[in-house]
Structure 1
Amino acid sequence: MTWSDTPISIDPIITDNVFIGNLSAALSTDVRKKLGITHILSVCTEYSSTDHNHLTIPVQDSEYEDLLIHLPRACSFIQSALAQGGKVLVHCAMGVSRSPTVVCAYLMSTQRLSARAAIQYVRKRRPKIHPNYGFMKQLIAFGECRYKPSCTNSEYIAWKRRQNREVSKYLDLIANTVPMIPDQLYLSSDFPGDSDAAESLLLDLGMTHVLSISSAQLPKPDLPLFNHCFINIPNNGREALLLELPTACKFIGDAITGGGQVLVQCRVELRACIIVCAYFMLTRRVSPRQALGLLESALPLYNPTDTFYRHLDLFAACNYVPTPNNPLVQAWITGGTQAGKSSLKKKSTTTTNTTTLSLATTTTTLATESKVFDFAALSEVLARFQSTSTSVGVARA
């Protein structure tokens, strides 16, 4: 397919005087005539200048490109065209990254908008825009340069020195985002704290949904463009993640069913892996070990811990609906602290308390003597507990 075969895409950004479009729109004499376009600003290498009303800035859509140094000339061209009563089409290949960056820079210099405010303004009029991460940082630097970047400007020099480092770090984040189910479910244990970088990352990856798992010490990311589920897991609540697994699985399932792509994001990789495996178990009806096998096909170096196995075994033992009142969950909670163990020992005089102690002791033994829970043993304990409870109920009746 040639550029002339690509569907025309063009939108008015500033009243009906400044437009953003793709290369096909720029090549179409019919479109230009219909809209009254008098000037063309090409921010690409595919369309060279044709006359004094056509300016070409030959840059590639790469995070490493220096578009910043060209922005004053581009803004001057737009301003001159409008002063003459003209109408300007600013375009690149797709009208998504390079040309929106230039129009944002023009709005910043003339309206004194911040980079983020300029992007939001343009996006309302052309929702598909997405300046690449390098260009987003350059818009910020454009403001810091007071809209006059040059080889002698100290702010431009400072940006130039850090450009490669910042871009490389960002691209590493993309490379380290692992597909669990290609085009559906992804996992990441490293996520940018900067909201601009986070937004750019998710757009680059094509995400529609984000599941963030965090502790109370970390702030909730600002992700207004995405369907976002934030689950707070206090570090002092060992059962907190287990109890949130149904919510997490539902969020992932609803997103995928609706044709979306989900990123499960947590700085603690263990937590993200537990949620992904829980989703595999629930939707594919596989055992914890089989779910681990699916995880390891994408993360071959992942090393599961006792905590990993305990969460998944309990999730299965609770029939994928763990609750605080479930005896297995209670046994795990109380069995995890010395105070809980002491309390249980003091109450071991009655039949009911003896049964509870037996359950806690058995579960604790499974956790300490074996690397993983014995699922069969757990089921047997639960059945025995339910049988005993029924007998006690009949006797009381």
Structure 2
Amino acid sequence: MALTSFDLNARDGRARTGVIRTPRGEIRTPAFMPVGTAATVKGMMPESVRETGADILLGNTYHLMLRPGAERVARLGGLHRFMNWERPILTDSGGFQVMSLSDLRKLTEEGVTFRSHVDGSKHMLSPETSMEIQRLLGSDIVMAFDECPALPADRARLEESMRLSMRWAARSREAFGDRPGHMLFGIQQGGLERDLREESAQALVNIGFDGYAIGGLAVGEGQEAMFGCLDFAPGMLPEDKPRYLMGVGKPADIVGAVARGIDMMDCVLPSRSGRTGQAWTRRGQVNLRNARHADDPRPLDEGCTCPCCQNYSRAYLHHVVRAKEMIAGMLLTWHNLHYYQELMAGMRAAIAEARFAAFEEAFHAGEALGDIERL
């Protein structure tokens, strides 16, 4: 049997459910990947992340190359051992962070030269160096190096950027080489332009990858425009390979993406929201900073089995959020990640049982209710 594989088990409309198999374990799809930017999901122990139902985490090439350094991680046994997560890890290529975080960056055909946002030191990222850093980290799924322009951008800029990314994709494939047990994903670009997306998809298929990401969305275009693009972009990519939508998103974005044929997603939102007093529930978003929660003995979500909802009241959560206590971010992050993974499990079951449309309708009806009545 191949060391890595992707099996589609069921379809319901364009929604799909299946399994990505890797030597470090199976990833049930559709999958949501919690973001462990600097080898940690903020506010969570790795064991707790696993308890929420996560099969795979995302690590960040840009942040890890700057601190603590990929060579150091390799010397210490690789990213899995370093962060005590023995299941699959996907690392992004670093391209998006270079564009969004770095000072004084210079883009050429070779790659990107930039100054670190940490200490101002000078670095170069290219397809070849990105592949080498990801090899040192030891991630199971490696992303090709690409450029991701922010939207809105004019067509000429999108065209130029997409073609550069496709040349970089070919160099990433070459530099990745033959690594049994590890997968390399190419990244489709082209903004919201159908013909550019088609050209990009064709270039990637010609190069040949183990999976395909849809990049360049969730960068300021809004949900309607993103869904418009997802109405056609996933269908341009091979049916028999995983499709990964990068950097998405809110629960409603995730449900809409799965409805359009997406298999994998990642986003900092569950953990970032948790650290700012925001929770996601079946009835939409709840802001625990609001005074209405101060005397409320009820749990955040009565139907939720996470430790936050089982053991703590809204009144307590309101108190620790307002007091800026560390436990506030820990509890709300745990709840949010639990909710996201419960959402994914619900979609996997609904697709397998050919009732995804009913699931989607019930999800939107729940969010439309808004939070429970105040006491």
Q: Which has the higher helix share?
A: 1
Higher Rg of the two aligned structures: 1
**Taking CA–CA contacts closer than 8 Å with sequence separation of 6 or more, which of the two structures ends up with the larger relative contact order?**
2
Q: How high is the TM-score relative to the length of structure 1?
A: 0.24
Q: Which has the higher strand share?
A: 2
